[in-house]
Amino acid sequence: MQDDPKTLVSTDWLAAHLNDPDLRIIDASWHMPATGRDARAEYDAVHLPHARFFDIDAISDKRSALPHMAPPVEMFISRMRAMGIGDGHQIVIYDNSDVRSAFRVWWTFRLMGKTDVAVLDGGLAKWQAEGRPVEDMPPIMRDRHITVQRQAALVRDVTQVAAASKLGDHAIIDARAPERFRGEVDEPRPGLRAGHIPGARNLPFGRLFNADGTMIAPEAIRTAYEEAGVDLSRPAITTCGSGVTAAILSFALERIGHRNHSLYDGSWTEWGSFADLNIATGDA
């Protein structure tokens, strides 16, 4: 693959830049509650050298009843400054998660107008499999100034998505597993209806990765979207269960040069809870 410090970098690239003074590494691991895994405890036990831990649930909008909604600008600035992440830094994000949560944090930085941000291809698992260095010590963090310009076009709310669904003028793409998309199984979060947003197409996020956890090549990404019935000539809205894996679809669109994309932050946790919103089942 070709390394791109604005989207995706290899373990070789990161190893070569590991001691750059303006590099900041983030562990963005997050797990579905049913897994019983503790991302913070796992980070404390082993992480990449000098990595900071980004808590997706803690760095979120506490005014919302929905899980881990994008944080307000003021909170993001405060947390990043305390983590020693500021202007002029090259950021590399990784995870050790089944839901590839690093992409959600990549999207959050993009939402805040930061573009020198990449995901580590293959994450912690590939890094460790190659015998590269890890540690269990917390990094030394010094407060750094950070400037934020929120990119409102990168996020959509339920009203905007309902309008897009009705008008059919956007490609709405759902990252959930096919059986959830079709409404054949219960949602993992209780109280939600089963199905999908009318007009959406299904591209399960796992189809965008190789067996070793690395992302498939851009030409294969484009093929995956086309095979899912996605019209790439339209602006795209990505969605999933709660806005985490939708970010993988947004990232993949960026990788193939499709810049007109936004993420439905409430995703099915919000849509599936409203009885007055239409739902579809099956493949269509």
Contact 93, 119 (CB under 8 A): yes
Among all chains, which residue has been given the structure tokens 């590494």?
25
- What pLDDT sits at residue 132? 98
Asked if residues 146 and 73 have their Cβ atoms less than 8 Å apart, the reply is: no
Categorize the per-residue pLDDT at 40 as very low, low, confident or very high, splitting at 50, 70 and 90: very high
The answer, yes or no, to whether residue 69 has pLDDT greater than 90, is yes
Q: What's the confidence (pLDDT) of residue 202?
A: 98
pLDDT of 1 reads 82
Region 16-35 average pLDDT: 96
Asked if 114 and 147 count as a contact pair (C-beta separation under 8 A), the reply is no
Write the pLDDT tens digit of every residue in 197-239: 999 999 999 999 999 999 999 999 999 999 999 999 999 999 9
Kindly report the number of other CB atoms within 10 A of residue 101's CB atom: 28
How many Cα atoms within 13 Å fall on the side-chain side of residue 24? 25
Q: For residue range 252-261, what is the model confidence (pLDDT) as tens digits? A: 999 999 999 9
The string of pLDDT tens digits covering residues 146-161 is 999 999 999 999 999 9
DSSP state of 189: S
**pTM of the full predicted structure?**
0.98
Q: How many CB atoms lie within 10 A of CB 260?
A: 13
The average pLDDT across 46-53 equals 98
Q: What are all long-range contacts of 69-76, with beta carbons under 8 Å and residues at least 24 apart?
A: 69/243, 69/265, 69/266, 70/108, 70/111, 70/155, 70/243, 70/265, 71/108, 73/112, 73/148, 73/150, 76/108, 76/112, 76/148
Distance from C-alpha of 28 to C-alpha of 25, rounded to nearest angstrom: 10
Calpha distance 9→6 (Å, rounded): 8
Give mean pLDDT, residues 63-92. Answer: 97
- Residue 114 pLDDT level (bands cut at 50, 70, 90): very high
Percent of residues, the chain, with pLDDT higher than 90: 97
* The predicted structure's pLDDT at residue 173: 98
For the chain, what percentages of helix, strand and coil (3-state, to nearest 5) are there?
30, 15, 55
Rounded to a whole number of angstroms, the distance between the first and last alpha carbons of the chain is 34
Quote the mean pLDDT of the chain: 97
Establish whether 240 is a catalytic residue: yes
> Cβ distance 176 to 268 under 8 Å?
yes
State the DSSP string of 210-271.
-TTSPBPPHHHHHHHHHHTT--TTS-EEEE-SSSSTHHHHHHHHHHTT---EEEESSHHHHH
State the residue for tokens 């590839």: 100
From 237, 240, 248, 249, active-site residue: 240
The rounded distance, in Å, linking the Cα atoms of 233 and 231 is: 5
Q: Is the pLDDT of residue 284 over 90?
A: no
Residues 73-87 have a mean pLDDT of 97
As a whole number of angstroms, the distance between CA 206 and CA 100 comes to 9
